[in-house]
Amino acid sequence: MHQSRSSKARLIFPVSCIHRSLKKGITVAILALVPSHIHWMTVSLLFLATVLKYLMVEVLELACIAAGQIGRWCITPCPLEMVTKADVE
């Protein structure tokens, strides 16, 4: 059974979609094979997907708190905008 790169790394973000997007917009140089036969490109895509997942979780968590503070039950653009403008980091 074929397992995707996302499922192998236990990620929700689609590694293959990120890979396609990078190939379309940015010229990516594949450096070489590491001893374990994993492309540097694959490792960097997994890292990028992990970072994006982490950032999304952080933003959504803060937006959920902000939505609760203004009395909303769902996250709308308003709490998302509040969070992104108020966050110092």
CB contact at 8 A, 11 and 49: yes
Q: Could you report the per-residue pLDDT of 50-64, keeping only the tens digit for each?
A: 788 888 888 888 888
**pLDDT tops 50 at residue 10:** yes
Domains within the chain, CATH numbers bracketed = 5-86 (1.10.20.10)
pLDDT band (50, 70, 90) for residue 35: very low
- Distant-in-sequence, close-in-space partners of 67: CB < 8 Å, separation ≥ 6: 73, 74, 75, 76, 79
Query: Higher confidence at residue 29 or residue 46?
Result: 46
